[in-house]
Amino acid sequence: MGTYDKKKILEIDRRHIWHPFTQMKDYEDRDPPVIVAARGTKLYSIEGQEFYDTISSWWTNTHGHLHPQLVKALKDQLDRLDHVNFSGFTHPYAAEVVERLRGFLPSKLIRFFFSDNGSTAVEVGLKMAFQFWQNRGFSRKTRFVCLENAYHGDTLGAVSVGGVDLFFKLYKPLTFKTYRAPAPYCYRCPENRGSTFTFSAENISCNFRCLKGLKSILKEHHEEIAALIVEPRLLAAGGMIVYPAEYLRGLVEQARRYGVLVIFDEVATGFGRTGRMFALESAGVVPDILCLAKGLTGGMLPLALTVTTEEVFQAFYADYLEGKTFYHGHSFTAHPLGCAVAAANLKLFAEEKPLEKGRAVQEFFHQRLEEIFSDRPYVGDIRYLGYVGALELVADRRTKEPFPPEKRVGFQVYMASLKAGLVLRPLGDVIYWFLPLCVTKEEVDEILSRSREVLDGILLGK
Ligand SMILES: Cc1ncc(COP(=O)(O)O)c(C=O)c1O
């Protein structure tokens, strides 16, 4: 398939390819765009149609597509080392990633376990937390606490600590039992009867009813709880729910009080997306275990890390016959190509400081979200944090009643957005933008204006 043959590609796709998170019947009489190129904030189809990649290719892409420094790092690495078993061998490219990443992480996080995607980073974190207690003789500590609306991946351990029923309910019989604490979902909190938007969740004044739910779980069950897992500041797949830093501080405080490890899943929030290198910085808290993936390579290649403390590591460090080894690994652990690109990505963060340079763009993005959407009758909530923005669409703004599921508003928005040269991939009725750090004010304006046209067209019949 040297030159592209659209008809043939679509024929193979329709006959043989099963796409993720997709009801394939929806494509019975429509074709997905065939993407053949990407650059900066845009994707290009086989016919040359341009799309703004407003979701950064499933939240992975940080500096825009095909950033020249990342491309060069990958090409250079191809002349050196493609792959080596990481059990019993090491390589300079992994060492460089660790050394560079340490410059961005809290000083307590100094032990790095490589894997290859966000779900595996979480599986490693869960097993690590569980075995930490087993190795230390706390055999009863086998359970986890997660939040409602949490999403940590699609492998079964990650599903067990997930809180999005649409994705996970069916698989419940396959999963282990966890405690689910209420989500800090300010817009739908029973105490929030007003109609104010959440925005950045900075000015929320409440008595943290959601935290009380967590406290009672910990108080009652802490002796059997190994760890608590949470996405800091943003429940991403659960609806781009932005929540206060104070909640995160309270959560960590409670976990410490009851002797429960804290796992932060920064697979989505890491690498600048929330306006800080890591979302944990906004709350000034440090977990025992941190999961990273997606933006680690700037979104170019699959690579993941589970980072932990010396204390956790030491619980595994023993004579072989004591049986404390961490039996976990993947074929592509610390893949040298991924590591070379990740090192270049981290170098770029350190030298070019995109987050500092992008401060004004982020503020502009938030301001335009408010200006463009506050008066739209279909907008129940507006939320934002750094380069992430979201609208929760509702049928009735006063009662916050959602649209009936059969209306498939999100899917309609997705299909219409493609026609408008945008990729909007809503989560149910939550429309969001997960922008790359290279986006300009002009692009933000264009993306939001086109998005409004799409939404007005569907929901106001304009
Ligand atoms: C917070 C979070 N954790 C874990 C994952 C799973 O990552 P992956 O899709 O690479 O397995 C995701 C994916 O969206 C995520 O948002």
How many angstroms separate the alpha carbon of residue 153 from the centre of ligand 1? 5
For residue 231, which atom of ligand 1 is closest to its CA?
Answer: 1
State the pLDDT at residue 85: 97
How many angstroms separate the alpha carbon of residue 152 from the centre of ligand 1? 5
289 Cβ below 6 A of ligand 1: no
pLDDT classification of 196: cutoffs 50, 70, 90: confident
Nearest CA to ligand 1 atom 2: 152
Q: Span 198-206, mean pLDDT?
A: 90
Q: Span 153-158, mean pLDDT?
A: 98
Cα separation, 152 vs 268, in Å, equals: 9
Q: Which of 169, 146, 167 is nearest to 291 (CA)?
A: 146
pTM of the model: 0.98
4 vs 372, more confident: 372
pLDDT digits (tens, 9 = 90+) for 337-361: 999 999 999 999 999 999 999 999 9
pLDDT classification of 93: cutoffs 50, 70, 90: very high
267 Cβ below 6 A of ligand 1: yes
Q: Which amino acid is at 428?
A: G
152 Cβ below 6 A of ligand 1: yes
How many angstroms separate the alpha carbon of residue 76 from the centre of ligand 1? 29
Q: Which of 188, 167, 243, 240 is nearest to 211 (CA)?
A: 243
pLDDT classification of 149: cutoffs 50, 70, 90: very high
Is the pLDDT score of 39 beyond 90?
yes
306 Cβ below 6 A of ligand 1: no
265 Cβ below 6 A of ligand 1: yes
For residue 293, which atom of ligand 1 is closest to its CA?
Answer: 10
Contact 380, 397 (CB under 8 A): yes
Contact 416, 460 (CB under 8 A): no
231 Cβ below 6 A of ligand 1: yes
Is the pLDDT score of 191 beyond 90?
no
Contact 61, 299 (CB under 8 A): yes
State the pLDDT at residue 193: 77
pLDDT classification of 462: cutoffs 50, 70, 90: confident
Beta bridge partners of residue 39, listed in sequence order:
42
How many angstroms separate the alpha carbon of residue 239 from the centre of ligand 1? 14
Pocket test residue of 161, 267, 434 for ligand 1, highest count of atoms within 8 A of CB: 267
How many angstroms separate the alpha carbon of residue 321 from the centre of ligand 1? 35
303 Cβ below 6 A of ligand 1: no
- Cβ within 8 Å of residue 247, ≥6 positions away: 184, 208, 210, 211
Pocket test residue of 146, 152, 164 for ligand 1, highest count of atoms within 8 A of CB: 152
434 Cβ below 6 A of ligand 1: no
Is the pLDDT score of 194 beyond 80?
no
For residue 266, which atom of ligand 1 is closest to its CA?
Answer: 1
Q: Span 449-462, mean pLDDT?
A: 96
Q: Span 2-19, mean pLDDT?
A: 93
Q: Which residue ranges form the domains of the chain, and what is each CATH number?
A: 33-53+358-459 (3.90.1150.10), 71-352 (3.40.640.10)
Cα separation, 308 vs 173, in Å, equals: 31
State the pLDDT at residue 2: 55
How many angstroms separate the alpha carbon of residue 89 from the centre of ligand 1? 28
How many angstroms separate the alpha carbon of residue 303 from the centre of ligand 1? 12
For residue 150, which atom of ligand 1 is closest to its CA?
Answer: 1
Secondary structure (3-state) at 107: coil
112 Cβ below 6 A of ligand 1: no
118 Cβ below 6 A of ligand 1: yes
- CA 268, 274, 275, 277 dihedral sign is negative
Nearest CA to ligand 1 atom 4: 152
State the pLDDT at residue 204: 81
How many angstroms separate the alpha carbon of residue 294 from the centre of ligand 1? 8
Q: Span 445-450, mean pLDDT?
A: 98
pLDDT above 70 as % of the chain: 99
pLDDT digits (tens, 9 = 90+) for 288-307: 999 999 999 999 999 999 99
**Residues present in the chain in total:** 462
Contact 81, 338 (CB under 8 A): no
- Pairing verdict, β 234-235 and 241-242: antiparallel
pLDDT classification of 442: cutoffs 50, 70, 90: very high
End-to-end distance of the chain based on CA atoms, in angstroms? 42
263 Cβ below 6 A of ligand 1: no
Is the pLDDT score of 248 beyond 80?
yes
pLDDT digits (tens, 9 = 90+) for 52-74: 999 999 999 999 999 999 999 99
